[in-house]
Structure 1
Amino acid sequence: MTKNILFLVNGLGLGNSTRCHAVIQRLRKRGVGIQVFTSGNGLWYFRQYQDVDMVHENQSFNYGSNNGQISMFGTAKSVLHYWRIAKNNEKRIAALIKKLKPDAVITDSDYSFKPMKRFKIPIIALNNANVVRFLYHRFADRPRSIWAQFHLIEYMDYLFHFFIPDLVLAPSLDSKLPLNTNQFKVTDVIVRQGFFPKISYSTPKRVVVMLSGSTFGSPVKFSRRDYGVHIDVVGRDAPEGGSLNSRIVFHGKILNTQQILNDADLLVINGGFSAVSEAFWLRVPMVVVPVARHAEQWINARMIAHLGVGILAQEQELESAMVTALQRLDQFRAAYAQVPAPLDGAEQAAEEIMKII
């Protein structure tokens, strides 16, 4: 009998969708039926792929904002609004479960759980909050600006996943972290098919700037006319009046980013774990620009700097950091040669999921 899985995917940015899609690709090879419940960017992403049987729309959650940055005060003020959204989504999920009778529900930054508990459906989460919690305390140079977001969001995320799911699959840049338990399984990075790792030693020709598709993605501005390389900007439309430089191309939103990333000599990205994972899998040096006040993104960026394969930069220094990173490519490439290549975390996740269903 065909096994069926329902994915509950947060659609705020694209990272949750691409990570879930990587696991879906491996489950499809095993003949598993897949349906997805998502919103926003998740709807745009999954509706364009044929390896998902059906996509269902939910109501989305968003952080509160102030001047384009995360506002914990604004988020806290919206708690009642979020509660109402959660109740509506739970009703929709319960109706889907009654209709689909899935063998498991896989969540990625979605916190609905009552319908699954009621119908005794296993809950499997793709979530690395336990890794974030561990590394937050490891890096003593963490900025005070991430304290509130860590304790109000990331630590609560960890506690939720400690108590609620039956299994948590936690992707990490370092899968040897001492975090494995019966409930938490650390995997290598989870990356979609079609990415081909390499360490290039040639003169750099192409930089890809691919910043978050969420509300809090960093702005992209270039002041120079020439950087000595071709620059592809993914996820942003060209500024009014066009680009200063014919070698800077703004691509807007792209579904299949594999080819453009495979050709990159340097990646400039926000600190979302999916983007960092893809760059790390490709063995491409990177500039990681964490969204301001976002603890997980800072930790992901700090881990890249710790491994020596890229640098952590602030939004206001994005352009100068890119120039600096181009000058240090040989150093980053040498560091990659010393870091063991990751295994296929998506395949590891699929194997664990199949054990449960």
Structure 2
Amino acid sequence: MNNRFVFAVQGEGRGHLTQAIATYEMLIARGHTVCAVLIGSSSRREIPSFVRERIKAPIITYRSPNFVTDKENKSIRIDKTIVKNMLQWRTYRKSMRLIREAIAQYKPDLLLNFYEPLIGLSSVFKKLDTKIISIAHQFIYLHPEFQFPEEGNKSDAFAIKQYTKLTAKGSDKLLALSFYPLNQSSYKKVLISPPLLRKEVFQQEVFEGDHILVYLLNSGYMQDIISWHKEHPEIVLHCFTDSATVKGKWHFDETLCFHSLDDQKFLQYMASAKALVTTAGFESVCEAMYFGKPVLMVPVKGHFEQWCNARDGAKAGAGTHADSFNLDVLLDYMPPYKNNSEAFQQWSKTTKHIMLQCFSDVLHQPMEEDLIEEKSTPYFQFHPMLSLNQQLGHS
């Protein structure tokens, strides 16, 4: 049965956008229609060109709540974030009207919300005239088995849970993308799913080259990488950033090269890297886990969600974490690193089945015939990864 979909995507960062691309390609391949993709973002970020290249449906952009960073574009200023977003209320009301107009125009059978807060906020005032499934890693915070790191700030944990609940308002089901399995019994509409990886991830030739790959969400960290590199010029680094000063490729010297964001090139460099250094975004860490590359996770200062990701990723065996871009931490970690990619790959193969089953349940439609025989990977096949990493000192 051909169904009509509309996407709503939180456009800050790379993760939600690549998840939307993966879902778009999966649905199109199965004969469904994606009528439009709504992307909420801020004035400080442009929608990456690869999104428009990969998604052939109409793309509608609008202003949406976002973080405010410091002058160096490194850390997040929570106080200024709250004030700025409150002052932008009239702009966000216009965005919510645009969302309702798009739904009225395209009449989707299902709206897929990739953590766009204005979908939930719209539903607070009046339920949107469509069924909604929300998809994001953050929905794992609402699962009873998920535990925030003990050393974390309880106020921050409470705030991120409330924000996530707001984003989920009006949803018929929540798909919580996770580093590792939890109890699959649906709890208050929450269903655990493996990460939503793009098809290109499965097509890469994986080997260990001579470079370390770096991904910087905020361009302010470029100087940190340069400073470390000057002390270790023998280490080859390739760094991807959204900095406006980098157009295509910039060779700082023979062993440090900066690249503008390019999803295809980034995957190719990751598949051939020794290791990955990243600002603890969920998607990049999962791609590295699939390839069996150790990861140094450095959360953006003030970004509690990434702070949790760094510790949760370490718990799952992805790598280790640090508070700054001191790559010495990674070099010390790499010798004892245990490659558990086979178990992670096996679990990741069940994502499509879980998602399409969820779509069928919400739409009250029978499961597509070619997927009926597929079964999820049992929990115990992945569990040794957690036990092993606890032995390495992460908990």
Q: Please, what TM-score do these two structures have when normalized by structure 1?
A: 0.83
Distance (whole Å) between structure 1 residues aligned to residue 209 and residue 52 of structure 2: 36
Given that residues 16 and 108 in structure 1 are in contact (C-alpha distance below 8 angstroms), is that contact kept between their aligned partners in structure 2?
Answer: yes
List structure 1 runs of 4+ shifted beyond 6 angstroms: 197-200, 214-218, 337-340
Q: How does 1:135-174 map to 2 (within 5 A)?
A: 137-142=147-152, 144=153, 147-152=154-159, 154-160=160-166, 163-174=169-180
**TM-superposed deviation, 1:305:** 1.9
Pairing 1:198-237 to 2, within 5 Å after superposition = 205-212=210-217, 219-221=224-226, 222-224=228-230, 226=232, 228-235=234-241
How far did 1:76 drift? 2.1
Q: Secondary structure at the match of 2:293?
A: coil
Alignment check: 8 A CA contact 2:208 2:273 kept:
no
User: 1: distance between equivalents of 2:86 and 2:138?
Assistant: 24
Q: Which amino acid aligns with 1:323?
A: L
Would the aligned equivalents of 2:4 and 2:33 in 1 still touch at CA under 8 Å? yes
Report the equivalent of 2:31. 31
CA RMSD of aligned residues (A): 3.2
Residues 1:296 and 2:305 aligned together: yes
Give yes or no for contact 2:238–2:257 (8 Å, CA) kept in 1: yes
Aligned to 2:79: 73
Identify the residue that residue 48 of structure 1 maps to in structure 2.
53
Alpha carbons 1:166, 1:183 under 8 Å: kept: yes
Residue 37 of structure 1 and its aligned partner are, at CA, apart by 0.8
Distance 1:91 1:230, change over 3 A: same
CA contact under 8 A between 1:225 and 1:245: conserved in structure 2?
A: no
User: Which of 41, 60, 64 is 1:60 aligned to?
Assistant: 64
> How far off is 1:124 after superposition?
0.9
Q: Structure 1 pair 29/198, CA: closer, same or farther in 2 (3 Å)?
A: closer
Could you give the per-residue CA deviations for residues 90-115 of structure 1, whole angstroms, max 9, x where no partner exists? 11112211211111111112123437
Return the offset for 1:236: 5.5
**Percent sequence identity over matched residues?**
18
| 1:38-75 deviation per Cα after TM superposition (whole angstroms, max 9, x unaligned) | 144446342122x4321111113221333442122112
Deviations 1:249-287 (A, max 9, x none): 211221322222211220111111111221122221111
Give the distance between the partners of 2:70 and 2:232, measured in 1 at CA: 34
The answer (yes or no) to whether the contact 1:218–1:270 under 8 Å persists in 2 is no
TM-superposed CA distance for 1:346, in Å, is: 4.4
Residue in 2 that maps onto 1:94 = 100
Query: How far is the alpha carbon of 1:78 from its aligned partner?
Result: 2.5
**How does 1:201-350 map onto structure 2 within 5 Å?**
205-212=210-217, 219-221=224-226, 222-224=228-230, 226=232, 228-235=234-241, 245-256=253-264, 257-315=266-324, 317-325=325-333, 328-329=334-335, 331-334=336-339, 341-344=346-349, 346-347=351-352, 348-350=354-356
Q: Which of 108, 112, 117 is matched with 2:114 structurally? A: 108
Q: Secondary structure at the match of 1:78?
A: helix
CA distance in 1, matches of 2:31, 2:219: 32
The corresponding residue for 1:132 is 141
User: What SS does structure 1 have at the residue aligned with 2:338?
Assistant: helix
> Which stretch shows the higher mean deviation, 5-14 or 75-84?
75-84
Q: How many residues align?
A: 345
Quote the residue 2:16 is aligned against: 16
Higher relative contact order, chain-length normalized (CA < 8 Å, sep 6+) = 1
User: What do residues 19-45 of structure 1 show as CA deviations (whole Å, max 9, x unaligned)?
Assistant: 111121211111121121114444634
Tell whether the 8 Å contact from 2:133 to 2:175 is kept in structure 1 after alignment. Answer: yes
Mark the runs of 5 or more structure 1 residues left unpaired by the alignment: none
Once residues 194 and 225 of structure 1 are traced to their aligned partners in structure 2, the CA distance between those partners, rounded to angstroms, is 35
Q: Residue 120 of structure 1: which of 121, 129, 149 is its match?
A: 129
The AA in structure 1 aligned to 2:157 is: F
**Distance in 2 (alpha carbons) for counterparts of 1:342 and 1:198:** 18
Kindly provide the amino acid, as one letter, of the partner of residue 158 in structure 2: H
Tell me the amino acid that sits aligned with residue 24 of structure 1: Y
Contiguous gaps of at least 5 residues in structure 2: 364-395
Give the Cα separation in 2 of the matches to 1:280 and 1:89.
36
Structure 1 CA distance for aligned equivalents of residues 168 and 11 of structure 2: 23
